[in-house]
């Protein structure tokens, strides 16, 4: 299993030293294979590669962890995908690899993973794997495991469009996220008379890659 660092996943290819699963590691390969033949003549940075990776790796990611889309979006666990080096691509190599990693885009370092992350999210996941934030607002706060002191917790996600819908524009996605999350967080908190909520919504690039969900946050220390 790769012992990855955050800077590793920023690159399209990866040659991090593999270690035994019983040793310290922060990444685990959970899917790999040959790319479809439609990519035989594709450019190294073809946008369709990203779409393929999102569809392939995200589906396998959920199955591997034993989670649904909403749960994995509210976790500190994420995935990264890799392809051959640019030189190998020019020589005809056409494979992909999906790795689960113990952190996300904001992580300065990754969490140690168990011997295997398979079924890690089954049942009620431990707080160390769920995402929270500490700060006056979610925006700008560093995302941390919920096992650490926090002021915000990602409690639900809401779907803001159907799979075949065209992107409706930033304003509509944001307004729908705000309105839906207000109701969703209120229900999660059992309808208190007063509560604070926040939401994370995504833009056209994420929409084009296949994401149709926004994340809803509740101000809570629980």
Q: 38-60: per-residue pLDDT in tens?
A: 999 999 999 899 889 989 999 99
Q: What are the Cα distances from residue 199, in Å, to 149, 187, 221?
A: 20, 15, 17
Task: Report which of residues 5 and 107 the model is more confident about.
Answer: 107
Give the rounded distance of the alpha carbon of 144 from its chain centre.
14
Residue 68 has pLDDT above 70, yes or no: yes
CB-based contact 78:110 (threshold 8 Å): no
Share of the chain above pLDDT 90, in %: 73
pLDDT at 7: 55
- Residue in 133, 128, 132 with CA at minimum distance from that of residue 112: 128
pLDDT tens profile 132-155:
999 999 988 888 999 999 999 999
Angstrom distance (rounded) from CA 133 to CA 154: 8
Whose tokens are 């769920």? That residue is 130
Give the rounded distance of the alpha carbon of 128 from its chain centre.
16
Structure tokens at 193: 């008379």
pLDDT at 1: 52
CB-based contact 3:17 (threshold 8 Å): yes
Residue 5 has pLDDT above 60, yes or no: no
Angstrom distance (rounded) from CA 85 to CA 91: 10
In the chain, domain spans:
1-126, 130-222
pLDDT at 13: 66
What would the mean pLDDT of 15-29 be, rounded to a whole number? 82
- Residue in 157, 132, 125 with CA at minimum distance from that of residue 222: 132
Residue 9 has pLDDT above 70, yes or no: no
Angstrom distance (rounded) from CA 31 to CA 98: 5
Number of CB atoms found within 10 A of residue 206's CB: 15
Whose tokens are 């524009």? That residue is 169
Residue 10 has pLDDT above 70, yes or no: no
pLDDT tens profile 119-132:
999 988 999 999 99
């Amino acid at each position: 299993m790769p012992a990855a660092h955050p800077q590793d996943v920023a690159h399209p290819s990866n040659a991090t030293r593999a270690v035994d699963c019983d040793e310290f590691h922060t990444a685990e390969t959970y899917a790999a294979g040959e790319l479809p033949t439609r990519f035989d003549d594709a450019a190294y940075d073809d946008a369709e590669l990203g779409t393929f990776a999102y569809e392939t790796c995200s589906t396998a990611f959920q199955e591997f962890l034993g989670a649904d889309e909403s749960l994995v979006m509210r976790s500190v666990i994420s995935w990264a995908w890799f392809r051959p080096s640019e030189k190998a691509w020019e020589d005809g190599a056409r494979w992909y690899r999906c790795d689960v990693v113990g952190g996300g885009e904001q992580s300065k370092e990754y969490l140690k993973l168990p011997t295997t992350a398979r079924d890690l999210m089954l049942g009620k996941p431990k707080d160390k794997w769920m995402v929270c934030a500490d700060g006056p607002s979610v925006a700008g706060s560093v995302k941390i495991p919920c096992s650490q002191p926090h002021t915000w917790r990602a409690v639900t996600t809401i779907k803001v469009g159907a799979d075949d819908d065209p992107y409706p524009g930033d304003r509509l996605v944001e307004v729908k996220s705000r309105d839906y999350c207000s109701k969703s967080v209120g229900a999660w908190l059992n309808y208190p008379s007063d509560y604070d909520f926040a939401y994370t919504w995504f833009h056209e690039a994420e929409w084009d890659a296949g994401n149709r969900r926004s994340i809803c946050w509740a101000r809570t220390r629980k």
